[in-house]
Amino acid sequence: MSEARGPSERRRTGAAPRTVRQVPPAVPVVRRVSVRTVLRTPFTRRTWSEAAYCVVGLPPALVGFVLVLVLLAVGTALTLSLLGAVVGLLLLTAALGLARVLAAAQRGLAARLLGERLPGPPPVPAASGPLGRLDVRLRDGAGWRSAGYVLAKLPLAAVQLYAVLGLWVATLLNLSLPLRWGLLGQYPDHGGGAEASVVNPLPFGGGAPHITTFGGTWVAFAIGVGLLLVAPWPARGAVAMDRWLLHGLLGPGALESRVRDLEETRALAVDDSAALLRRLERDLHDGAQVRLVALAMSLDMLREGLGADPGTDAPAAGGARTEGGAEGARTEGAGTEGARTDGVRGDEGGRSPVDAARLRRLADTAHRNATEALSELRDLARGIHPPALDDGLPDALDTLAARSVLPVRLTVDLPRRPTPAIETIAYFCAAELLTNAIKHSGARGVEVEAAQRDGAIRLRVTDDGRGGATLGGGLTGLLQRVRTVDGGLDVDSPEGGPTVVTVTLPPHA
């Protein structure tokens, strides 16, 4: 199953290097074992670190096995006896907790000696109340799988230790027999003839050949050479078994790793789009907006040039300026009126060529269009990325509050700055909720609160309006937006008010 999915998983994770994990090759690769490989294997680094892994594994495996088994057994027995159910369940959770700790140590060892870097499981999720905590701990899949590994590891560790110690000791003894016989004289002749035997590493077939002459010791040596070449492979087999268990029980499950992948790619997508919008706003600001300002300015100069009428313009200039400004102050679209008045004045001045008046009208229209485009473009840019956000969420919320037509009481306490994507979402939530309060609630005042707890951001907008808001319409859109980063939105709006909308956001996507 996992092998069949191998290639597609690798392709998906290939885009994000940090999510790459160990995936067994899709097609079992039949490697040709060359003589060279066989000769070199006993002396490779891998062989020795695998051997080390096998040797150090047994004592902790034994301790872990006993502790976890005892806790599980006693816990289960007590739980089933009903009388000690509480203690029993606590012992079970202790067993699972211990299994998690042991599993973490095992992952560390595997990473160091086997090069198996397995991401650990997420911590046990937080829950409220003693029963809730007990529940999530008992249903902790990672904990149970860890316990499974700890229990399976003991027999495996025994085999591993034997595979290493048994074989290597036999190899060394056999290899050194000529030396021990000839030089060290470990096998003196006590009359009945010297006798030694080839050491057999296997637990069976004990009838190893006996050696009675020095020449015979070379047979043992030859067997020792053979054993030396063979020695790495049982250990490798036992370690392969361990790798399989590690992946199966201590690695992230297929679903878990998929979730992890999705979370990471989603975070990338969210951050990317925030950065993209910011760049878009900056491009508009540095490009189109500047061009339009320059265009409007040139058109105004052109208009002035066309309308330069010494008879009427010069004395009225001061007044006309002030007038234009005042209109600007009262209504944004006042340019129309001013332009018309100016046009009429041009006609009155009796400037003979009709063309001049016409050109002037055209220039007026063009100028008006340019300034209107400018203000539309500004609103658009603000909708894409409010420039105030560049200085952080507190300043942006401050700007928002200042722009609101209702009095806004703003409290911001954000000691750590969230990522830009989160800031943008928080800002747009606040803006939307503020608009809602103004449009629909009939409130006289709004309170906006932004606080941080355990890194998570809580944005709360309270209004003293008529209440009765439900999670629909605009709020659904907000909820969707908030959910793209695993945030939450909670509406509390009893009939008659007040309405409290709380948005929670993680510190990063």
Q: Is 459 in the site for another protein (CB under 8 A)?
A: no
- Which structure tokens are listed for 34? 């060359």
Binding part of the chain for another protein, among 177-185, 236-244, 278-286, 426-434 by CB under 8 A, reads 278-286
Number of residues that bind another protein (CB under 8 A): 47
Q: Which is nearer to another protein, 189 or 395 (CB)?
A: 395
Q: How far apart are CA 323 and CA 338, in angstroms?
A: 8
Least distance from another protein to the Cβ atom of residue 444, Å: 11
Angle, vertex CA 219, rays to CA 218 and CA 220, nearest 5: 85
Say whether 11 sits in a helix, a strand or coil. helix
Give the pairing type, strands 456-463 and 408-413: unpaired
Determine which residue in the list 293, 308, 314, 344 makes contact with another protein, applying CB under 8 A. 293
Taking CB under 8 A as the binding criterion, the range among 94-102, 131-139, 210-218, 280-288 that sits at the site for another protein is 280-288
* 239 lies in the site for another protein, by CB under 8 A: no
Q: Smallest gap, in angstroms, from Cβ of residue 53 to another protein?
A: 52
Q: Is 300 in the site for another protein (CB under 8 A)?
A: yes
Nearer residue to another protein within complex by CB, 292 or 475? 292
The answer to whether residues 378 and 289 touch, using CB atoms and an 8 Å cutoff, is yes
> Angle at Cα 203 formed by Cα 236 and Cα 195, nearest 5°?
115
Look at residues 199, 155, 156, 192 and name the one whose alpha carbon lies nearest to residue 174. 199
Three-state SS string across 58-103, please? HHHHHHHHHHHHHHHHHHHHHHHCCCCHHHHHHHHHHHHHHHHHHH
Q: Which residues contact 57 (CB under 8 A, 6 or more apart)?
A: 109, 153, 157, 160, 161, 242
The residue within the footprint of another protein, chosen from 340, 358, 403, 483 (CB under 8 A), is 403
Judged by CB, which is closer to another protein: 142, or 292? Answer: 292
Say whether residue 328 binds another protein (CB under 8 A): yes
- Least distance from another protein to the Cβ atom of residue 472, Å: 31
Residue 435 binds another protein (CB under 8 A): no
Please choose, out of 76-84, 288-296, 350-358, 432-440, the segment that lies near another protein by the rule CB under 8 A. 288-296
From candidates 106, 371, 462, 499, binder to another protein by CB under 8 A: 371
Nearer to another protein, 224 or 307 (CB): 307
Compute the least distance from the CB of residue 385 to another protein, in Å: 11
Decide if residue 443 touches another protein (CB under 8 A).
Answer: no
SS3 237: helix
- Contact between 309 and another protein per CB under 8 A: no
Burial of 17 (0-12, 13-18, 19+ CB in 10 A): exposed
Q: How far is the CB of 403 from another protein (least distance, A)?
A: 6
Identify the residue among 77, 301, 314, 344 touching another protein (CB under 8 A).
Answer: 301
Query: Does 286 help bind another protein (rule: CB under 8 A)?
Result: yes
> Is the Cβ of residue 60 or residue 387 nearer to another protein in the bound state?
387
- Chain positions 380 to 399 lying near another protein, rule: CB under 8 A, are 381-382, 387-388, 390-391, 395, 398-399
Both tokens assigned to 378: 């500004």
Q: DSSP letters of 281-321?
A: HHHHHHTHHHHHHHHHHHHHHHHHHHH--TTTHHHHHHHHH
CB atoms within 10 A of CB 340: 12
Q: Does 402 bind another protein (CB under 8 A)?
A: yes
Which of 144-152, 190-198, 221-229, 313-321 is the region at the interface with another protein (rule: CB under 8 A)? 313-321
Regarding 296 and contact with another protein (CB under 8 A), the answer is yes
Minimum CB separation of residue 353 from another protein in Å reads 23
Instruction: For residue 283, state whether it binds another protein (rule: CB under 8 A).
Output: no
Looking at the DSSP bridge assignments, the partners of residue 491 are 501
* Contact predicate 199/173, CB 8 Å: yes
Is 375 near another protein (CB under 8 A)?
yes
Q: Are 421 and 270 in contact (CB under 8 A)?
A: yes
Question: 397 or 421, CB closer to another protein?
Answer: 397
Q: Exposure pattern of 104-140 as b/e (b: 16+ CB <10 Å)?
A: eebbebbeebbebebeebeebeeeeeeeeebeebeeb
User: Of 199 and 284, which CB lies nearer to another protein in the complex structure?
Assistant: 284
- CB-wise, 166 or 387, nearer to another protein? 387
Nearer to another protein among residue 179 and residue 344 (C-beta): 344
Separation in Å, CA 333 to CA 336, 339, 369:
7, 11, 11
Instruction: Report yes or no: 339 and 371 within 8 Å, Cβ to Cβ.
Output: no
DSSP 169-219: HHHHHHHTHHHHHHTS--S---SS---EEPPP-SSS---PPEE-SHHHHHH
Does residue number 464 form part of the binding site for another protein (CB under 8 A)? no
The stretch near another protein (CB under 8 A) out of 223-231, 282-290, 358-366, 412-420 is 282-290
Report the half-sphere exposure of 330 (CA within 13 A, side-chain side): 9
Q: Which chain residues interact with another protein by CB under 8 A?
A: 282, 285-286, 289-291, 293-294, 296-301, 304, 317-326, 328-330, 367, 370-371, 374-375, 378, 381-382, 387-388, 390-391, 395, 398-399, 402-403, 405, 407
